[in-house]
Amino acid sequence: MHLIQQVLFILVLAAAVGLFAKKVRQIGKLINLGKPDDPITDRKKRWKNVLIYAFGQKKLFRNPLVGVLHFFIYAGFIIINLEILEIIIDGIAGTHRIFEKPMGEAYLWLIDAFEVLAVLVLTSCVVFLLRRNVVRVKRLNTSDLKGWPRRDANIILITEIILMALFLTMDATDGGFLISKYIHVPQEVAINKTCWWLHIIGVLAFLNYLPYSKHFHIILGFPNTYYADITPPGEMENMPNVQKEVEYVFHPENAPTEPTEQHFGAKDIFDLKKSQLLQAYSCTECGRCTAACPANQTGKKLSPRKIMMDTRDRMEQLSKNKDDKQTLLHGYITPEELRACTTCNACVQECPVSISPLSIILELRRALVMEESSAPPEWNSMFSNIENNFAPWKFSPEDRGAWAQNP
């Protein structure tokens, strides 16, 4: 009987890991559809950002209650999953709590700590479920979360509650651990084994659900924080081809005699950088960016969270249909959304995992204006003045200082 269970466990484990690896490779290929990034600089600062924002979750603690509850879930994911290693070894080898004997008394302390943490994770998930579905926190109940995104969040929270309940029941029916000291549970082998199987199958199912969910950020949030832009807030990336055109104005003798084909900005994901596509899969959909966006708060259609979700949806659509003729610009994100952005950097400042919706907005808006010549009349007037007068105002360069002569 033990041999049959071992073989069954190995088959289930191999299938789960194989399916997970297949989906991760697919996501990797989609991210690699983007343009290469600039060479990595200041690695020390990047690792510091990973420690502060990814591991330390610094921005989440601006709201202490949410920060602490989220930290419990995060710590549970990192620490309790060490117990998964023992379950996997037990499943393959046909043993029972293989680390108990060699670790001795320390093992009991470790499992007791896991149980306390499991209770904290379970409690935190219940609170977050109530915040989403009973209290109905505004940023978690906006129109861009209707349908699957809202269900996804609830599915994850409910799954974590079930997994923690199974873990606690499994320990309680095994005897000798913290929970059995306060709650009398019969040491029933059948219940223990059932919970053991349901728990590990649930964990493996959860593993394969992650790449299809916004909760993939628990893995990609770390590399995303490392590769995030570290230039000062508000500093826009220069466009070398535009800079050359400006230089030709002052030095026309250097201008090429033959017309050259040039592209500006981004119309689709192929025109974005790999790091920007990584950001789309790292988005937590927490809505802090949209809640802080002044354009959104004044009734405009712009939602930085939706920008990231649309970018991810576009990549997923390409994985299903490579010949899809839609583009990210127009097909998923409208000019109205892009024009509403004030480039204030509030969305970048608020993101807990260092995502920059603004960088994608700017690239799409550049394509809209410079490739399609699509801009409001006020913008076109400003562009014309800059082109002719080298300033946004309708004054010739010679008259620019005239105001000082007649104070």
Q: What is the three-state SS of 369-384?
A: HHHCCCCCHHHHHHHH
Burial (CB count <10 Å: 0-12, 13-18, 19+), residue 225: buried
Query: Long-range contacts: 198-203, Cβ < 8 Å, 24+?
Result: 198/166, 199/87, 199/163, 199/166, 199/167, 199/170, 200/9, 200/84, 200/87, 200/88, 200/91, 201/12, 202/159, 202/162, 202/163, 202/166, 203/81, 203/84, 203/163
What's residue 14's pLDDT?
A: 96
Q: How far apart are CA 41 and CA 74, in angstroms?
A: 29
What's residue 168's pLDDT?
A: 87
Mean pLDDT by 10-residue block, N- to C-terminus, for the chain (407 residues)? 83 95 95 93 94 91 90 83 85 86 85 87 94 92 89 93 90 68 65 88 93 91 93 82 79 78 88 96 94 94 96 93 87 95 94 94 93 86 83 78 69
What's residue 254's pLDDT?
A: 80
Question: How far is residue 12 CA from its own chain's centroid?
Answer: 29
Tell me the β-bridge partners of 35.
Answer: 273
Residue 221 identity (one-letter amino acid): G
Token pair belonging to 298 = 């004044």
Token pair belonging to 135 = 């209290």
- The model's pTM is 0.86
What tens digit of pLDDT does each residue of 224-265 get? 999 999 988 878 888 887 788 778 877 888 888 777 777 888
What tens digit of pLDDT does each residue of 384-393 get? 888 788 788 8
